[in-house]
Structure 1
Amino acid sequence: MPEFSTSTATALSIAQSLLVADQDKGPITAALITEKVNIAASVVAPGNEGAVDKDAVIAELIRRYSQWIGRDTGMSDTTDHEAWLNAARKKDWRCWPRYRDMLERKMSVTAVDALDKSTDRILGWMEDPGRAGAWDRRGLVVGHVQSGKTANYSGLICKAADSGYKIIIILAGLHNNLRSQTQIRLEEGFLGYETSANGDIVKLIGVGEHGRDFEIKPNCATNRTNTGDFNTKIAKHLAITPEQRPWLFVVKKHKVVLERLLKWIRGHVADATDEHGKRFVSNLPLLLIDDEADHASVDTGEQHIGADGKPDEDHEPKAINSRIRKILNTFAKKAYVGYTATPFANIFIHRQNETPEEGPDLFPQSFIVNLAAPSNYVGPARVFGLQTPEGRSGLPLTRVFQDHASDDGRDGWMPAKHQKDHAPAHMGQDALPPSLREAVRSFVLACAAREARGQGAQHSSMLVHVTRFTLVQKEVHRQVEDFVQKMKLRITRGIDHEALLDELRALWESDFVPTTEAIASKLTESEEKPSALPWAEVLAKLPDVLSDIEVRMVNGKAKDALDYAEEGAKALKVIAIGGDKLARGLTLEGLCTSYFVRTTKMYDTLMQMGRWFGYRPGYIDLCRLYTTEELVEWFGHIADASEELREEFDTMAESGAIPRDYGLRVQSHPVLLVTSPLKMRTAKNLQLSFSGDLLETVSMHNDGKILDQNLDTANKLIAACGAPDETNPERVRGTQNQQWEGFLWNDVPADHIADFFESFITHPKARKVNSALLRDFVRSMATTNELTSWTVALLGGGSGDKHTFAGGLTIDRMTKRTADKDISDRYAIGRLLSPRDEAIDLDDAAWSAALARTKKMFNPDAGRQKNGVKPSEPDTPNGPSIRFIRGKGSEADGVAPAPQRGLLLLYPLDPQQAGSEALADRKNPVMAFGVSFPSSDSGVKVEYAVDHLLWTQEYGPAD
């Protein structure tokens, strides 16, 4: 939210309250907003309405009321669960109403309402804290990276406390700075007062400072200082009784801290003894919230499950996992809720793991909730774009560099594999590479532009993440600080500053001005559309901005750059240099510029490093991500993989699946590189299923011999299929006709398809499409009488040249797919299939049933839209629905299931239109294929060999 004067902020709050009161009477229009703002201004400043910036308030309210949010999706297992949350239970709530009031002062009513509904659902799927006897509920909440998970669990804590949960423990990351940050957030959103090292209430803040119900003072056993974690000294003076006020503990995921807390609970809180003599808490219900639940909480040790399905009781879980489970196991009444943006590791937790000491593992057996993001959220899908046949279309914020290392990656300023004593040097000099110098200048310009736009009272940050070694970070810190210091001296003193100002002006006019114009055209109504500032306004702010910029290290051996909240009115301008501490959970306020080099390629680790996702109101056009070509490619994979798994989740939730079903599905999903194999808890091979999946070749060889073999393989399949059943197939789709250029065969036997996969050579960097696995899968399914009768289509219709295949079948226009110019070791494209192609084998009834299912599942989640524009209801079926209807049919629509029917789509790509130098001399087509597998319950899987050593070499160590 923009910074407003006190009068303007008060008028905004009053105007929004007036609009809330009127929202049931009709639509909120610009005219109505203006009317309410005029009323609010006359109340706040009677006779002096100029004290209120009415235009700014109107603009902010229009943005808020233009915001939209998709719906959360969820699945739950109600076994031994009693529904309990109703309106009557909410009447006496006190913590939630004041938290909601605080949120409504800075967020849209739409967003607050969505959070209210979301937390109601999660709380309802937990257990009634007043329920008699023992109970255990375990769930997982999946949000987008940097999308407001903390606000969600703060709301959940307020409601849980209101409902009667007495002990609330938050596991807040591995480091002091993240724990302290979480403590501060919960003081503002739940406690209402600032904690101190001596336990005194220092002052009322957040929900406590506006005078609403300030008698609510939940107890807190931890404080906001860097050493404020739970410790023995605190524990000695802490007495807990089951009184009205709940107790809050904000602790690190550290084995010593957790062991200390466990001992204290058993010694001071436990009030009963079980049949084995172990003390436990029988009367106080526990809510344990695990922030970043996929990190450190997962037991990476393999527990043997016997032939009888029973787990090995002698298994010893890893330290942190063990202690979390022991704490849970000490309470008779407990709810565990994990929060993460990358749930892959949690889904891989074995559902049967259990030991007598720890109890069951942390698999979210009770529920999983997928949080929707609001329309002003900027996530991976918007930054990098999702794959389409035309390629990706993200926001133009990425700046690619390669000057940090030599071409072979072994030398240079920051090579991929460097030692902990590496001395960063560029071209043999103790200096920053040009790309980082430009990134720093870019940050300086962003800070100056934000000042010129009136955002000077807000924090601005830059992230430099290039190494995990503290000693090397120290050297980078020294180099960056030296570079910034020289800029300060030259500009603030006016000594030898002309050349530097020329460089800054050139960067502003060649980069920032056109980027601002491009971004403005891509933003939604709920986002502030920027306009480019003239250079003179930016120049005027440069001296003060440079004087304010600080360069800090953020790691375990340095003072943490966390005192945003402690600086009072002063807005920080910080260049934060660090490693793993910057990689997960820590929020850098006002992050504008990121300079990022990292070798790991695991989806979950990389995703968490994406600190640049989130909300950038009024300055998204000033943000920059400096990184490598390879990481841009990998973040594209992340966006696609996350979208695919969320889509899979929505499909299963709609069909009434429970978390156990989803766990089994994800474990056999062909998105292989989701997480470290250690977190998959397996030293064995992966068991994969392709049922219900669409696979398409988007990474193909450049080698002419391999391409010739693949063309020959396609010709052999075409010849084996014989005369086509249809030429230029045509389909009725609702009120329209669709036509394809090409040929189609029905009832092709599985052997022909398996032989095709046997001979086709897929590229080793094709992340999902492995022809040998596909061959094995088709043959295995055929033994169960599934995938026995295939539809094969050879499709053209592009803008390329003609080519004649076996049997004299001619495609007059080969398909055009442009190569990714940044990837040279293969022919890499965006999406291969046009969305309509996957439904080519459906008749009108099946197509209509798939469309109806698509509409039913339709969820305009902003975190998954590539352009931020709210999409209209779909008019064509999506892939999951097509595959579901093909495999399982629709009794209501009279569509019979056909799990025996697979679909293979062959595409001849014109090499002359690829735009690839490696293919410039090729005339014959590059053969690509898409294969659509119907949904199935057969459970057939194929084995994928995981070589852990090669994995570590290729993807880096597990975090």
Structure 2
Amino acid sequence: MTDVLLEIHTAVLNGMATSPRHFAKSAELVAEDDFAGTDLSEEAFRARLTEDGLHGGALTALWSRTLTSWDFAENPRWSTDTEPRTEERRTAAYDRLRLGDDLRKALDAAVPVARTAGAVVIAREHTPWYTPERAASRSFYWRAYEAKLRGKGWTEAAIASLDEASRAVVERLTDPEQASPRQTKGLVVGYVQSGKTANFTGVAAKAIDAGYRLVIVLGGTLNLLRAQTQRRLDMELVGQENILGSADPEDVDTLVGIDYVGDDADWDDFVKHGGRPSVLGAFDIERLTTREKDYKSLERGIRVLEVEKREQTLPLHDPANLHRAAARIMVVKKNKAVLTKLVKDLKQIRSILGELPTLIIDDESDQASVNTTDPKKWEKGSTERTAINGLISQLLGLLPRAQYVGYTATPFANVFIDPGDAEDIFPSDFLISLPRPEGYVGVQDFHDLESPLDPSERTIANSQLEAHVRGIWDHTGDRLQEAMDSFLLTGALKLYRADRGVPEGPFRHHTMLVHQSVRTDDHAELALRINTMWHQAGYASSDGHARLADLWAADFSPVSEARAADLPNPAGYDELRPYISRAKQLIGKGGSPVVVVNGDTDRYFEQLDLDFDRTPHVWKILVGGTKLSRGFTVEGLTVTYYRRMTRQADTLMQMGRWFGFRPGYRDLVRLYIGREEPMTRTTTADLYEAFEAICRDEEVFREQLAQYAVLVDGKPQVVPAQIPPLVAQHLSWVKPSARNKMFNAELVEIRSPGRPIEPAAYPRDARALERNTERWRPVLHAFTSQSTSFTLPPGGPAGSGRPLPALTARVGHAELLAVLSGLEWEHEGYFQPHLRYLAQLDGRLATVEDWLLIAPQHSQSSRIEASVAGSVPMSLARRSRQEGKSSFSRIAGVEHQLLAKGLIDAAADPAEADGAVGPRTGVALVYPVVEGKTEADVQDAVSRGEADPSKVVMAFTLIPPRTATDSTRRLLRFQAKDSRHGDSAIVEAPAL
């Protein structure tokens, strides 16, 4: 039966692709010939929307696509004064459609305005070429991809968001039709397991439509990962007709050996174009790699390209040739042998390369691609590169029209690449931060960041930690058995939900991850332990069921009730019990519930049968190390038992395999992680804190990108090569990246609220020491001759109750900062990161009013006193430098530092503050130090009661008040050095 109303609305809205117009008039014009008499009233429209709301009808879907496209449009001519994804933009569309108030309300209810954030872009100015008109005129592969996503159940808002984000990348590439060659380099920053592949598939589709004729995807370091990327592109972009080529899909004999045909259960889900694209007025895509075969030879592809030049006198990039030529795609592993073969072949056909618009997509671009050789070891005037980085540089050198786009969720290593190295992959043209996708489960979903609630008030309903995070230990010991019980329970709950109408697709795979060591011997031992525990768990016994029932009642039932009331949940364990046996059978299939994942070779992974794309069901406990920490998506991951510590933020973040999309079982996700492990056991006590810190690092980075992405007078505030220090570190022992990826990083700020600042690399030069002592003169004169007796706070070392005598002074923050700013150090810039922080404590970052200076006095029997730069007599301290180094081994005594820290901590608590130190007062321990090993060395530095300023090191330890910070709570910031400016760091952009 013909849906007349749908046909009329489709015809009308198709005619409004670029802008909304008077809807009623347009509908009457469409209806007057073939659909006369159709009820076109707004009442009939509203009634249909109500009916569609009950059945998910096509008319609502049509309006959802149209309204969402208008909501997301960038600077549309019909509404230049409204921002995308706002009520104002939607109202502007309604006004042009001339819709009544009741219909507007009905449409808003059916298609709410998407509140998703847009991509954040920091980029150099570029010549606009990828206009909406040009994008719409050549969109064959993008439209096919868009339809594929819609068929997979993507919402219109999610598709529009991807459309917007992928357009942001493509429009900053060079126009493929441009006469003069030009390369661009960019970086796209997503979230761990957040759909970066979807974005670069969209970018590839649009770039190919626009005229890019060679796409090289660098896809992982293992063939399993490369093959996953190949299959994804083949399924959602290349499509059946291009894969089949000249083969007849009805002739079995011609299909032999063709990828996916006959051995991939999802073959019918591959994109269908309705015929060979070249026959349909578009162009074909030829694959130069397949699911099973990495790059072998480019010879045939280039010869075809040469033949396809319709106008031989014109270059390939001329529109007369470009849009008739087939595109080539290859998905290449980041492997030295493979890339060397590619580079070698390209050198042999160099003549065509200058005409070939090429897109290089580097997946996980901070892995293997970054140069990790130490610049200090390079020969003068030369750059030494690691293998993969060098081969990528060669590719860029051979392809003058190549555009390089790196993708990563952990961009810190990429940001630290030298912007002045023209042959490297620093994203000199653009840096794009993708929005957090709808439905994504990330770090924020396991931490209560900035929660205003007191920990005692947090519940499973208002706390992510209470709902999803469990400790490794409890009063009975290790909770590994409980984690395994949770895995079985959640498997049964998935089966229960599948039987009650929740789509089974999300439950195809069900996995648990156990990750506590990088050592392969540990993996084998742990797998044996888990296998033994599984078979001894008594899951078929009454005791086993009682244990599961208790866990369900205490944990999963209340969490699901609070967080997933709209999903089917059993009323009691007895209702769930029949599914336990089936879940146990699926997990234990093959005799063991465990799969160890720790190999280094492609052959090893092929034997595991862990290809989540091709294996119908994977219900297993995965035990492994680094091979589970990057690129390897663990599908269906529901329970994680995590104990492995690392001190690099990007490595730690990539280990978060529990991030991703969890449709239909988000409430069931559990993370067992080191939180309250007894100190007598091995180290996981700070692991949860580490993840929270790197979450803050990531958010600060994204927030500052957004701040500097705002255009001022239509111009960018900064370009990528001028990005100010954006990489923050909130936990001092978790660095942004590995040391060999931070050779070009410079620490520019160290924040120490409530923490000691104790520099130790004082100058050795006598004249520098004398100048430093003289700079301290104004502050030293503030010390009084009256000694103050301090008492160490409770909890100190043995004998802490004894008095600690000291001279004291109180000086303003500006006065102390003036002294510190003028000091000389053994290494230039050594104290600068601390000084940058202290300089902000004048009200910009926080307000520090004054400092209590404490000069500890030795006991009378061992005290050697002298006036320093005209001060009252002060007790001289004796310290020694570390052997072979310029730094002293320590400055402040343990008792003295505990005293200063106790004063700062007490000031932060109004109940304990005694008035000596307020919440805006810092404490400084001051030591006139004489370098030496005996008291005679100290005596030699004193003459007639005066200390020789050339022999005195004015050493100190500062502890700023705990209030001396901001809401970000970051501790460190880094920036990259630019070789074009010598050893100087990148100049900061002016703040907003």
* TM-score, length basis structure 2: 0.60
Distance 2:270 2:154 in 1: 15
Closer, same or farther: CA 778–380 of 1 in aligned 2, 3 Å: closer
Distance 1:67 1:941, change over 3 A: closer
Match of 1:297 among 369, 372, 376: 369
Once the two structures are superposed, the pairs formed by residues 212-611 of structure 1 within 5 Å of their partners are 217-225=284-292, 228-231=293-296, 239-241=303-305, 243=308, 244-267=325-348, 269-271=349-351, 281-303=353-375, 313-354=381-422, 360-387=423-450, 393-402=463-472, 434-454=478-498, 455-457=503-505, 458-459=507-508, 460-485=510-535, 491=539, 494=540, 497-520=541-564, 531=569, 533-549=571-587, 550=589, 551-556=594-599, 557-558=604-605, 559-567=607-615, 570-611=616-657
Tell me, yes or no, if the aligned pair for 1:183 and 1:223 is still in contact at 8 Å. Answer: yes
- Aligned residue in 2 for 1:648: 704
Does the 8 Å CA contact 1:141/1:369 hold for their aligned counterparts? yes
Hey, what's the Cα distance between the residues in 2 that align with 1:608 and 1:264? 34
Q: What does the per-residue CA deviation read over 1:294-324, in whole Å, with 9 as the maximum and x for residues that have no partner?
A: 1111101133699xxxx95522200111111
Of the three residues 939, 962, 965, the one matched with 1:929 is 962
Whether the aligned pair in 2 keeps the contact of 1:251 and 1:257 (CA below 8 Å) is yes
Q: C-alpha deviations, 1:580-639, integer Å up to 9, x for none? A: 221012212221111112121211111111111122122111111111122111011011
Q: 2: CA distance between counterparts of 1:579 and 1:702? A: 44
Once the two structures are superposed, residues 23-70 of structure 1 have per-residue CA deviations (whole angstroms, 9 ceiling, x without a partner) of: 97899x998654225676799xxxxxxxxxxxxxxxxx9999586411
Identity within the alignment, %: 27
SS in 1 for 2:963: strand
Contact 1:282/1:332, CA 8 A, preserved across alignment: yes
Q: Which residue of 2 aligns with 1:93?
A: 139
Q: Quick check: 1:686 aligned with 2:758? A: no
Tell me which amino acid in the other structure corresponds to 1:554.
V
- Taking the TM superposition and a 5 Å limit, the aligned residue runs for 1:550-949 are 550=589, 551-556=594-599, 557-558=604-605, 559-567=607-615, 570-629=616-675, 630-654=686-710, 656-666=716-726, 673-682=735-744, 686-689=746-749, 696-697=753-754, 720-721=811-812, 749-751=814-816, 776-777=835-836, 791-792=847-848, 908-910=908-910, 928-931=961-964
Uncovered stretches (5+) of structure 1, i.e. residues with no partner: 1-12, 44-60, 273-280, 355-359, 408-426, 428-432, 522-527, 722-747, 759-769, 795-903, 914-925, 945-959
* Alignment-derived partner of residue 743 in structure 1: none
How many Å apart are 1:326 and its aligned residue?
A: 0.8
Paired residues of 1:516 and 1:530 also in contact (CA < 8 A): no
What is the deviation of 1:561?
Answer: 4.7
CA contact (8 A) 1:401 1:627 kept: yes
Which whole-Å CA distance do the structure 1 matches of 2:536 and 2:13 have between them? 53
State the one-letter code of the partner of 1:452: Y
Cα deviation for residue 93 of structure 1 reads 1.7
Deviates more, 1:67-76 or 1:84-93: 84-93
Counterpart secondary structure, 2:660? coil
The Cα of 1:124 is off from its aligned counterpart by: 0.2
For residues 714 and 168 of structure 1, the distance between their equivalents in structure 2, rounded to whole angstroms, comes to 71
Q: Which residue of 2 is the match for residue 867 of structure 1?
A: none
With over 3 angstroms needed to count, the CA separation of the structure-2 counterparts of 1:18 and 1:62, relative to structure 1, is farther
Task: Note closer, same or farther for the CA distance 1:671–1:400 as it changes in structure 2 (3 Å cut).
Answer: closer
Question: Kindly tell me: are residues 928 and 753 of structure 1, through their superposed partners in 2, closer, same or farther at Cα, counting changes over 3 Å?
Answer: farther
**What is the alpha-carbon distance in structure 2 between the residues aligned to residue 236 and residue 249 of structure 1?**
13
Letter in 2 for 1:666: L
Letter in 1 for 2:51: E
Question: Any conservation in 2 of the 1:777–1:941 contact (CA below 8 Å)?
Answer: no
C-alpha distance in structure 2 between counterparts of 1:696 and 1:771, whole Å: 19
Q: Match of 1:135, SS?
A: coil
AA matched with 2:427: P
Contact 1:750/1:778 (CA < 8 Å) preserved in 2?
no
**Aligned match of 1:900:** none
Cα separation, 1, equivalents of 2:302 and 2:975? 55
Alignment CA distance shift 1:255-1:533 (3 Å): farther
Per the TM alignment, residue 120 of structure 1 is displaced from its structure 2 partner at its CA by: 0.9
Q: Alignment RMSD, CA only?
A: 4.9
Does the CA contact (< 8 Å) of 1:778 and 1:787 recur in 2? no
1: CA distance between counterparts of 2:830 and 2:236? 53
Unaligned runs of 5+ in 2: 1-5, 24-41, 60-107, 245-254, 309-324, 456-462, 676-685, 758-791, 824-828, 851-903, 914-958, 978-992
Q: Can you list the C-alpha shifts for 1:175-222, whole angstroms capped at 9, x where unaligned? A: 222112111211121111369995557375545247487666411122
| Matched letter for residue 565 of structure 1 | D
Q: Deviations over 1:862-891 (max 9, x none)?
A: xxxxxxxxxxxxxxxxxxxxxxxxxxxxxx
State how far apart, in whole Å, the 2-side matches of 1:128 and 1:217 are.
21
For residues 713 and 19 of structure 1, what CA distance do their matches in structure 2 show?
A: 88
2:417, 2:188 → 1: CA distance?
15
When the two structures are superposed, what TM-score results if normalisation uses the length of structure 1?
A: 0.62
Contact 1:398 1:624 in 2 (8 A): yes
The structure showing larger relative contact order (alpha-carbon pairs under 8 Å, at least 6 residues apart) is: 1
The Cα shift of 1:146 comes to 1.6
**Is the contact between residue 224 and residue 611 of structure 2 (CA under 8 Å) also seen in structure 1?**
no
- CA radius of gyration, larger in: 2
| Contact preservation (8 Å) 2:418, 2:976 | no
Of 33, 36, 40, the residue aligned with 2:52 is: 36
What amino acid sits opposite 1:220 in the alignment?
R
1:17–1:99 distance in 2 versus 1, CA, 3 Å: farther
Q: Does residue 1:161 correspond to 2:220, yes or no? A: no
Deviation at 1:88, TM superposition (A): 2.7
**In structure 2, what is the equivalent of residue 48 of structure 1?**
none
Partner Cα distance (2:806, 2:709) in 1: 38
* Aligned partners of 1:173 and 1:179 also within 8 Å: yes
Whether the 8 Å CA contact 1:906–1:928 is kept in 2: the answer is: no
Alpha-carbon offset, residue 539 of structure 1: 0.8
